[in-house]
Amino acid sequence: MTENLNSIKGMIYGLAIGDALGRDTEFMSFRQIKSSYGQDGITDLPEPALFTDDTQMSVAIAEALVRDGEKDLKAIMEAVREEFVKWYHSPENNRSPGRTCLTGVANMEQGTHWSKSGVAGSKGCGSAMRSAPIGYLYQRDPEKLKQVAHATGICTHGHPAADAACIGAAYLVKLALDSLPFENMIPKLLSFTKGISGEWDDAILKIEQCLAWEDEEKAFAYLGEGWVGEEAVALVYLLGFQFQKRPLDQTRSPSPQHPLHQPHPRMAPGLRPAHRLCPEAGLGGDRCAGGHGPGSDPGGT
């Protein structure tokens, strides 16, 4: 149980901290980030350290899965609808939520079935950004992972590329939990999402073309800006791949006494709905793994 709790805490903290780190640079280019923060970019949490709607919606899904994740899809999606509507009306839902997410949730609240509530043409990254809890809970049940990721994605984002990105992002979490090396993930990812979207396939295949590039910024630019789901997932994969190549002394986990393992003094209180998942999470704000930077749609996610 302790191991599971630590994993859950790592997921929630990772989402919220990465989100808070990138929140202030969401709409900035690499050049603008370097101009404002220096060559190394952001190296510490801002003050206050607030996450965005990405983490808030991830927590909403986590809450739904804690309650009804072992039930059938109808019960799961009813729980997701309730949590999304609760988020929609929350006074803390003031952190630049995307139009697509707001529209889909409003449609569900008004009675539209989740299979028809999404914006048909939207391929923003808003569904993929909140899929980590799905990959975590259904690590050992890939078919249910696919079923739930599909349903929770299309209730707001109806484009096939967004569908594939949501399923693919959740599946990458599962593969990471399986300790599969990054270099072995792409074939499995493409096989798992086969036939959903050609645009998604093309975006993921582009990753292999730039993995060996020495100029990391050029590689990121090649994959896109991340406003749409397939680009966002490709960028997150590249970030993970580059991180695992770092020398051990640059990637070693901090000790339990390190400040990163303690509640950060600049984190505003705010993950109240997640306390059943993460009792020590006195975090605030929101945003999903991978952070911002070139990561989310300014109005359409």
Give the start-to-end residue ranges of the domains of the chain.
52-245
pLDDT at 51 over 90: yes
Average pLDDT over every residue of 26-32: 87
Q: Grade residue 3 by pLDDT with cuts at 50, 70 and 90.
A: low
Q: How does pLDDT run across 277-295, given as a tens digit for each residue?
A: 222 222 222 323 333 333 3
What is the pTM assigned to this prediction? Answer: 0.83
Q: Grade residue 11 by pLDDT with cuts at 50, 70 and 90.
A: confident
The mean pLDDT of the chain is 84
Q: In angstroms, rounded to a whole number, what is the distance separating the alpha carbons of residues 93 and 281?
A: 19
pLDDT at 116 over 80: yes
Q: How much is the pLDDT for 300?
A: 58
Superfamily of domain 52-245: ADP-ribosylation/Crystallin J1 (1.10.4080.10)
Average pLDDT over every residue of 201-208: 97
Sign, CA torsion 186/189/194/200: negative
Q: What is the CA radius of gyration of the chain?
A: 18
Q: Grade residue 250 by pLDDT with cuts at 50, 70 and 90.
A: low
Q: In angstroms, rounded to a whole number, what is the distance separating the alpha carbons of residues 202 and 30?
A: 24
Percentage of residues of the chain with pLDDT beyond 90: 67
Contact 166, 131 (CB under 8 A): yes
